[in-house]
Structure 1
Amino acid sequence: MSDETVLALLAQVGALITGDHLVYASGRHGSSYVNKDALYPHTAATSAVCAQIARHFAATGVEVVAGPTVGGVIMAQWTAHHLSALTGREVLAVYAEEEPDGEGKRRVLRRGYDALVAGRRVLVVEDILTTGGSARLVVAAVRAAGGTVVGVGALCNRGAVSAERIDAPELYALSEVPLESYAPAECPLCAAGVPINTRVGKGAAFLAAQRATG
């Protein structure tokens, strides 16, 4: 599945947004967005992209697939489903939840998932990579639980994220879409007064935080 095929699939389901003012999960701003929430209701399309990730990692002995909440839960389920079919053995799917960690945050495996990960080979999946922060936290959570990370599979790498940045032995992304992003204080869209999209991304939360501190 080529970059063009993946992007065409995203555009077909309305998941590719351009020419707008958006706030990403990282807090940075930009004019384009891959709205994975528009992909997930389309189960055939979601299955297709996860099947490609599963095929790539099928020979690595994956026993568990782990993703971050929320979108990564869906990707983990579908990828584990396809890995089970490809390998002829059950591959489990778990997710890592976010919790405060001092002044920052971390991800943890709760609900008994840490025991399912311990001593097993784990594939981490993520939908969109902007800074790679969420994927890196899941990688850390898997290792903290005693799992071995075999790699990270992603739907879209839009921040030129490397395997080294997320502390993974391998990073495989279905599409590489390097798009410019800006810190809020340096955002030319903000400077030009372009309204922030509050329907997708973190725009609504960003504006609410501005009002609370303003």
Structure 2
Amino acid sequence: MDIDIRKYYMDADALLQGHFLLSSGNHSDHYLQSAKVLEKPDVAQTLAEALSNQIKDYGLVVDCVCSPALGGILAGYELARALGVRFIFTERIEGVMTLRRGFEVKPNEKVLICEDIITTGGSALEAAQCIQAQNGEVVAYAGLANRGFCKRVGSNLQRKPESKLPENVPLFALEDFIFNMYDPKDCPLCKDGSKAIKPGSRGN
């Protein structure tokens, strides 16, 4: 089943235009507000099932899905449900990504790291390092959407230098969203006098 995820974001007024501060610290003229899309459980289920089908078709074995809090939790939980595996999450404690709340990973357990949006993959990589610290095996990364810096399975887009995800581990996403991204020191929107806002989980 083909999913037009861009339409889901547009229907939810979740494809925003303006001047935004991304979690990476960079600025962009567009922002994907995934929480608005995922607030409807039936939509979250539909998107997660489409993503799980990609993973199953690839032949990947997954024992557990792990997401970095807060943005990845809804997408990761629904993906775990669609795959029929357990779900855990990491969170930042004093700026350090941590696996807590009694969550444990067994040695060699096959874990997929799921975000809502994959930009450079920085937060996903931090979550992966928590899994690897407990001798778990990170077998894949996934997101509802890929901002085009990381190479995903099924896309012709090439990996960009900004990508932080390892090249030898597959990334799954429903679509590539290519938006402008600027270093804050060289942002044309800032030079025009506007101020970047953060409409995600770390702002409003």
Same fold (TM over 0.5): yes
Match of 2:160 in 1: none
Query: C-alpha distance in 1, partners of 2:60/2:39?
Result: 29
Q: SS state of the match for residue 49, structure 1?
A: helix
Q: Using the alignment, how far apart are the partners of 1:117 and 1:176 within structure 2? A: 33
| Whole-angstrom distance in 2 between the partners of 1:51 and 1:97 | 25
Question: Which structure 2 residue ranges, 5 or more long, are not aligned?
Answer: 153-162
User: CA separation of 1:165/1:204 partners in 2, compared to 1, >3 Å: closer, same or farther?
Assistant: closer
Aligned: 1:43 with 2:24: no
Moved over 6 A (4+): none
1:77 paired to 2:71: no
Q: Which structure has the bigger radius of gyration?
A: 1
Amino acid at match of 1:191: K
Deviations 1:57-104 (A, max 9, x none): 2332211100000121112211111111xxxxxx1000011234xxxx
Say whether residues 1:169 and 2:159 are aligned partners.
no
SS at match of 1:139: helix
- Tell me which of 90, 93, 103 is aligned to 1:96: 90
Q: Name the aligned partner's letter for residue 21 of structure 1.
A: H
What is the identity percentage for the equivalent residue pairs of Structure 1 and Structure 2? 27
Cα distance in 2 for partners of 1:202, 1:157 equals: 18
Are the counterparts in 1 of residues 64 and 80 from structure 2 also a CA contact under 8 Å?
Answer: yes
Deviation at 1:162, TM superposition (A): 3.6
Which residue does the alignment assign to 1:56?
A: 54
| Structure 1 length-normalised TM | 0.80
Amino acid at match of 1:52: A
Count the aligned residue pairs: 191
Structure 1, residues 6-54: CA drift from partner, whole Å, max 9, x if none?
1011111111112x11111111111111111211211111111111222
Q: Distance in 2 between matches of 1:179 and 1:120?
A: 35
C-alpha distance after superposition, 1:120-169 (max 9, x if no partner): 11111011122210011111111111111110111111142247731261
2:113 to 112, 124, 127: 124
Structure 1 or 2: more helix by fraction:
1
* Structure 2 contact 111–139 (Cα < 8 Å) conserved: yes
- Distance apart, 1:106 and its partner CA: 3.8
Cα-to-partner distance string for 1:144-201 (whole Å, 9 max, x where unaligned): 1111111011111114224773126111111111211111121111110134445x14
Corresponding residue for residue 28 of structure 2: 30
- Report if the CA contact (8 A) 1:66-1:123 is conserved: yes
Alpha-carbon contact 2:27-2:196 (below 8 Å) kept:
no
Deviates more, 1:163-172 or 1:5-14: 163-172
